[in-house]
Every structure is written in C-alpha cells, then in structure tokens.
C-alpha cells in the first residue's frame, strides 16, 4: 500500500469509530434522562407529602384556636351574667360589653 492510501484508510477508520462513540454517548444520555425525571418525580412527591402534613397541622391548630376562642367567649358571657346579676357592672365593663357584642354576633 502506498502511504496516501494508508492515511486515507486510517482516516476512514477513525471517522467510523468516532461515529460509534457518539452514538453510544447519545444512548447513554437518553438512558440517563428517565432516571433523572424519576428522581424529580420522587422529590416532588415528597414535597407534596410534606406540604400536606403542614396543611393538616395548621388545620389542627386552627381548630384548637377556634375551641379556645369559643371557651373564652363562654367564660366572658358567664362573667357578664354574674356582673349583671350582682349589679356590679362598672362603666368600663359596660363599655367593653358594648364593644364585644358586634364581634359575638359576627362569630
């Protein structure tokens, strides 16, 4: 073989082998893509679970606060009843009672 023929042959071999390497890299990249999306899906599912737990916790806290407000309103009503029954309502107490009535009607 002459020297130029040998160089052309080597160049062709080099081109063919590099094409195979590129194709293999593309296949590996395509295979890696689903695993990345699966990881992202798992992470998003975990985030959703955490958000749900936070929401449930907040709902429980709101219910507890509502119960406390209800209990305090009942106590306030009893105190008002005791004050009115004893006739010991002071002007300041009467003012507070006047302020509280619209809130009781709204609640």
pLDDT in tens, 34-83: 666 778 888 899 999 999 999 999 999 999 999 999 999 999 999 888 88
pTM, to two decimals: 0.45
Is 3 part of any domain? no
Is 79 part of any domain? yes
**Dist CA 36 CA 32 (whole Å):** 6
Is 35 part of any domain? no
Count of CB atoms situated within 10 Å of the CB of 96: 14
Sign of CA dihedral 93, 97, 98, 100: positive
**Dist CA 70 CA 16 (whole Å):** 81
**64, 69, 94: which is closest to 79 by C-alpha?**
94
Is 76 part of any domain? yes
Is 33 part of any domain? no
- Asked whether residue 16 carries a pLDDT value surpassing 60, the answer given is yes
Note the helical H segments in 1-107.
Answer: 3-86, 91-106
Is 2 part of any domain? no
What is the domain range of residue 77? 51-83
Is 59 part of any domain? yes
Q: Report the domain count for the chain.
A: 1
Is 69 part of any domain? yes
């Amino acid at each position: 073989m002459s020297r130029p023929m040998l160089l052309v042959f080597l160049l062709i071999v080099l081109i063919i082998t590099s094409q195979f390497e590129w194709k293999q890299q593309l296949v590996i990249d395509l295979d890696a893509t689903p695993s990345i999306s699966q990881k992202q899906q798992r992470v998003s599912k975990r985030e959703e679970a955490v958000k749900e737990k936070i929401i449930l916790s907040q709902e429980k806290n709101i219910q507890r606060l509502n119960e406390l407000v209800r209990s305090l309103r009942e106590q306030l009503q009893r105190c008002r009843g005791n004050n009115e029954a004893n006739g010991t309502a002071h002007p300041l107490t009467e003012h507070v009672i006047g302020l509280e009535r619209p809130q009781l009607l709204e609640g």
